[in-house]
Each structure stands twice: as C-alpha cells, then as structure tokens.
Amino acid sequence: MWVFWLVLALCFGLLAVWPFLGYPLTLEWLARRRSRPVRASEAPKDWPRAVDLVFCAYNEAAGIGRKIENCLAIDPAGRELRIHVYSDGSTDGTETAARAYADRIDLVVSPERTGKSVGMNRLLERCAGDVVVFTDANVELPPDCLRQLLPLFADPEVGCVVGHLVYVNADDGSTAEVSSLYWRLEERIKALEARIGSTMGADGSIFAIRRRLFRPVPPDIIDDMFTSLSILCDGYRIARADHLVAFERSAGDRGDEIRRKIRIACRSFNCHRLLWPRLRRLPPLELYMYVCHKLLRWFTFVWLLLAAVFYLLFALASPAPALWLGLPLAGIALFAIAWAARLRLAQQLVDVLLAFAATARGVLESLQGRRYQTWQPPASSR
C-alpha cells in the first residue's frame, strides 16, 4: 500500500511543478519543431489606419498627469491616435488633474465606483479606430509602442497583440523580488507560446486588439483576460511584440500582494468559469497550453497539500518510517533556522507559498460566488 501512497504523492507533486518546469520545457521543444511566425509587415501602408488608447484610473491624482504625458509622447506612427481616460469615481482630485489635458484627451468621469470592466466598456463605445490599445494607469509605455504593435496586425490571423511587462522595483524586498522573478518566467512562457501559435491571454499593462473583435465585459469579470481569451476562442491569434516593453512597480508589501493575488485569482477563475464552454473547444495544442498555463496554476497550493498528505501516508506505511519522516522534518528545521536568521531565501520561499495560498483562496472565493467589481491600487506599488 505504501507504494500507492508514494505514487500519488509524486503525481500531485508533479502537478504542482509542471506549469513552472515541465510545461516550459515542452514549449521549448515544440518551439524548435513547429514555430509559427506572425506575418508582420514593416510597411506602414499595411498597418491599421486609426488607433485608440484607453486606460482607467482610480485615485491616481499623484501620477495621472505623468501617465497622460507619457501617452501624449507616443509616436503616432503616421496614424490618428486618440487617448481615452476613465476616472472611476476618484475622490483624490484625479479628475481635476486630468482635466488639465481636456483639449488633448477624451475624459470620461464616473461620479461613482463602477469598476474597471465597466469603464473599459464605456471607453470602447467611444473608440472609432481599427485598433484599441489597452494600458494601466501606473504603467509607463515606450514612445515607439505603436511601431511595435501595429506591424503584427498586418497578419489577418492576429486579433490581439501583447507587450512585455517589466517590474522596476525588484530590489524593494523579498515580495517585490519574487513577483519580478515570477513575472520573468511568465514572460518567457508567453514568448514561447507566441512562437508556437498564441500566448494564453493578455496582461492589462499593455495589449492591443482589433476593435471589431471586442465583446462587452461583464462588470465583475477581469477585462484583460476576458477580452483576449474571447478573441482566442473566436479563432484569432494572440501574438506577442517581443521588443515592446512596458514598466510598472509591483506591490512591495506582503499584505498588499496577498490581497491583490486573492482578488485577481477570484476574478480570473470567474472568467475561466464563464469562458470554459468555449475554451474547451480550442484546438488540442491551445487547450493544452491553456490548461498548463492557467488552470493547473490556480490549484498549485492544493496539489502541494495533497502531495504532502500522501507523502505522510507513504512515510507512515513504509518499511522505514523514521527515515522518510525524518527527511522533511529536517528540512522544516533548516527552514526555521533560516527564517530566524532572516535569510533572503527563506523570505522568498514564504512569499512563494503565500502567493500560492492566496491564489487558492481566490479560487475558493470564486466557487463560493464571490465577485470583485472594483479595485484598490496597493499603496506599495505607487
């Protein structure tokens, strides 16, 4: 019987690490054998002719002017570029600061909190361009972002293009460092997925879509995931502009990051449940990528718990229980010493485990019917 418990422990352990180790290795293998380049064009005549840029802001008075200036500095690449801003019931003077640019932007002010998805829906109703670029209020965009995005839309199979996000405050502590390390792995996986066919979804920091493919987002569903995956389900590719880099600060406070993870996981899993009837009809390779990139990750903490439970059953039933129980206990003791000594590696391991636990909490809240419609930007990311 102890062999059975060991096999189960190994299987659940494999499920826990597969999205972070096994899955990227399979992508590396596939990318070398079936690369599918986007038919981009460097000729401006092949690019979409008009572009809208949209973002929502809540209590961003301290940085809204800098963000708008950043958007106004974007090279229009010979296109008509319109900038749309939604102030979501801000109470700190965001609206007043944004009105200083009223002659150069389209400002929509909501007197009450409605949430980002509602704001994006309202902004998209005002967009008339062929392509819409989405960004966040705390993200810095490079001036040449349109020259990075638009050539990929020359390929008629491309419905969405994502950029590359870099966190700029990795030195702010173990929480920010873990977020930065995780995001570098995430971006590597997205790059490999894009080489094979499509990356599995967009991040709100910087992505663009063909406006005609936009579907209104339910108010309590995460907008970037819903918008990009809906386009994937419609049969279009989600391409990646490899040299388009946007910059953002991650949450440096552990509590801020845990709350953010819970909220995002809940909203993302709600989005998964809404789109799953369409997602499960994706072609086999894309379905494999979605399950590994998204679905398995949400349950990492569950897989780790089950692996630990079955390992304990194996150890107790094995011919040498003292040995198999002693190994993890020794590991726990070493970790406790490292934690007491405030070693950075121990701090990072705690942040990783807390991130997995927060994600599991968010999935549980989704299954319990919890909905998040509005957001509170973490103070430590300002």
Going by C-alpha positions, the residue among 146, 140, 151, 179 that lies closest to residue 43 is 151
Arithmetic mean of pLDDT, 349-375: 88
Domain ranges of the chain: 1-382
Q: pLDDT class for 173, splitting at 50, 70, 90?
A: low
Instruction: Give the H or E element holding residue 333.
Output: helix 321-340
Helical axes 344-367 vs 300-317, angle rounded to 10°: 110
pLDDT at residue number 379 = 59
| Cross-strand partners of 87 | 57, 109
271-285 per-position pLDDT tens digit? 999 999 999 999 999
In CATH, which of 3.40.710.10, 3.90.550.10, 2.60.120.10, 3.40.50.970 is domain 1-382?
3.90.550.10
Does residue 342 contact residue 219 with C-beta atoms inside 8 Å? no
pLDDT at residue number 209 = 97
293-344 per-position pLDDT tens digit? 999 999 999 999 999 999 898 888 888 777 777 777 787 787 677 667 677 7
Helix segments in 116-253, DSSP class H: 116-125, 145-149, 174-196, 223-233
pLDDT at 345 over 60: yes
pLDDT at residue number 382 = 56
pLDDT at residue number 348 = 74
Determine the Cα–Cα distance for residues 347 and 254; give it in Å rounded to an integer. Answer: 11
pLDDT at residue number 318 = 81
pLDDT at residue number 145 = 93
Spell out a b/e string for 258-296, using b for 16 or more CB atoms within 10 Å of the CB, else e: bbbbbbbbbbbbbbbebbeeebeebeeebeebbbbbbeb
Cα→Cα distances 209→187, 280, 295, 356, Å: 19, 22, 24, 31
What are the tokens at 213? 């493919």
Determine the Cα–Cα distance for residues 379 and 382; give it in Å rounded to an integer. Answer: 6
Average pLDDT, rounded, for the chain: 89
Arithmetic mean of pLDDT, 221-238: 96
Does residue 114 contact residue 88 with C-beta atoms inside 8 Å? yes
pLDDT at 24 over 60: yes
What are the tokens at 47? 């690019």
Q: pLDDT class for 176, splitting at 50, 70, 90?
A: low
pLDDT at residue number 250 = 64
| Cross-strand partners of 81 | 51
Determine the Cα–Cα distance for residues 2 and 21; give it in Å rounded to an integer. Answer: 27
253 vs 355, more confident: 355
230-273 per-position pLDDT tens digit? 999 999 999 999 888 888 766 656 777 888 899 999 999 999 99
Arithmetic mean of pLDDT, 378-382: 56
60-114 per-position pLDDT tens digit? 988 999 999 999 999 998 899 999 999 999 998 999 999 999 899 999 999 999 9
% pLDDT > 90, the chain:
62
pLDDT at residue number 51 = 96
% pLDDT > 70, the chain:
92
pLDDT at residue number 325 = 73
Residues in the chain: 382
Least confident of 29-33, 54-58, 126-130, 329-333: 329-333
Confidence (pTM): 0.91
Residue 336 sits at φ, ψ, to 5 deg, of -60, -40
Determine the Cα–Cα distance for residues 26 and 264; give it in Å rounded to an integer. Answer: 27
pLDDT at residue number 254 = 72
| Cross-strand partners of 168 | none
Instruction: Give the H or E element holding residue 167.
Output: strand 158-167
Cα→Cα distances 174→138, 161, 356, Å: 21, 31, 15
Region at 265 (left for phi over 0; alpha for psi -120 to 50; beta for the rest): alpha
DSSP labels, 64-97: HHHHHHHHHTS--TTSEEEEEEEEES--SSHHHH
Q: Which residues contact 305 (CB under 8 A, 6 or more apart)?
A: none
Is 107 in a helix, a strand, or coil?
Answer: strand
Arithmetic mean of pLDDT, 215-223: 92
Q: Which residues contact 291 (CB under 8 A, 6 or more apart)?
A: none
Determine the Cα–Cα distance for residues 15 and 24; give it in Å rounded to an integer. Answer: 14
161-172 per-position pLDDT tens digit? 999 887 765 555
Determine the Cα–Cα distance for residues 146 and 142; give it in Å rounded to an integer. Answer: 9
Instruction: Give the H or E element holding residue 28.
Output: helix 22-33
